[in-house]
């Protein structure tokens, strides 16, 4: 006889192998397409950042649509940031202390200054639905090819899911080049698989904010 007990997710404890390190910032405005400059400036201060492919930074967003203001979409549009907005690095726990070197630094992002303040760590989310705004898969691929690639990436991580959905595409500047990205929703995950996907992400360019998954609050 084979007997497998149901997992009680109410008792699930999120491991702290990887955390989100949240920095206060003073940065009134920022270009929508700032990922490359942000990555370069973080690496200027933290020389080691990005050596581990799972070290990443969340691309910064202002207000979302639906709360009275439509978020700009064009790459050269400006985001107007409140003081509640944070600079968030996704890091292995052992890199939290070295990352404190960012505090007090002024980052120059396309002529926009960002003063980096104090930080605090936050554990990854317990959720059944994860979303990434920017995933870098095969370039110039259609939706079906992108989804096939994403399924293979998730399978390589050992992540089980019931639904996957890709959304709109967005081109990110990367120096002289452009990266084609797509948003991706992965649904009906166990908490353990959700943590695994948050820890690892999928695809390249994590240091530019690509392939980083966060809880999807709409579900």
Q: How do residues 181-202 score in pLDDT, each as one tens digit? A: 999 999 999 999 999 999 999 9
The average pLDDT across 140-153 equals 94
b/e code 58-67 from CB counts within 10 Å (16+ = b): bbbebbeeee
How much is the pLDDT for 103? Answer: 98
8 within a domain of the structure (yes/no)? no
How much is the pLDDT for 77? Answer: 82
CATH number of the domain bearing residue 75:
3.30.70.1890
How much is the pLDDT for 70? Answer: 45
The alpha-helical segments, DSSP class H, found in the chain are 35-45, 143-157, 191-200
CATH number of the domain bearing residue 183:
3.30.70.1210
Range of the domain at 71: 18-123
Average model confidence (pLDDT) across the chain? 89
The average pLDDT across 90-110 equals 97
The average pLDDT across 92-98 equals 97
Q: How far is it, in rounded angstroms, from Cα 158 to Cα 183? A: 21
Q: Are residues 76 and 152 in the same domain?
A: no
72 pLDDT band, cuts 50/70/90, is low
């Amino acid at each position: 006889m084979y007997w497998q007990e149901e997992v009680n997710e109410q008792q699930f404890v999120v491991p702290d192998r990887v955390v989100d390190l949240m920095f206060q910032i003073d940065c009134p405005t920022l270009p929508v397409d700032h990922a490359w400059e942000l990555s370069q400036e973080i690496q200027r201060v933290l020389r080691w950042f990005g050596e581990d492919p799972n070290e990443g930074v969340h691309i910064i967003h202002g207000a979302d649509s639906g709360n009275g203001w439509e978020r700009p979409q064009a790459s050269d549009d400006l985001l107007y940031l409140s003081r509640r907005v944070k600079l968030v690095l996704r890091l292995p726990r052992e890199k939290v202390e070295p990352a404190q070197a960012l505090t007090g630094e002024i980052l120059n992002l396309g002529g926009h200054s960002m003063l980096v303040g104090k930080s605090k760590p936050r554990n990854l989310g317990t959720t059944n639905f994860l979303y990434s705004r920017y995933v870098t898969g095969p370039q110039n691929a259609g939706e079906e090819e992108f989804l096939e690639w994403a399924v293979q990436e998730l399978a390589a991580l050992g992540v089980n899911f019931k639904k996957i959905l890709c959304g709109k595409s967005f081109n990110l500047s990367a120096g002289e080049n452009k990266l084609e990205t797509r948003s991706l929703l992965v649904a009906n995950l166990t908490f353990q698989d959700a943590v695994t996907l948050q820890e690892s992400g999928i695809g390249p360019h994590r240091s530019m904010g690509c392939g980083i998954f966060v809880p999807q609050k709409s579900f």
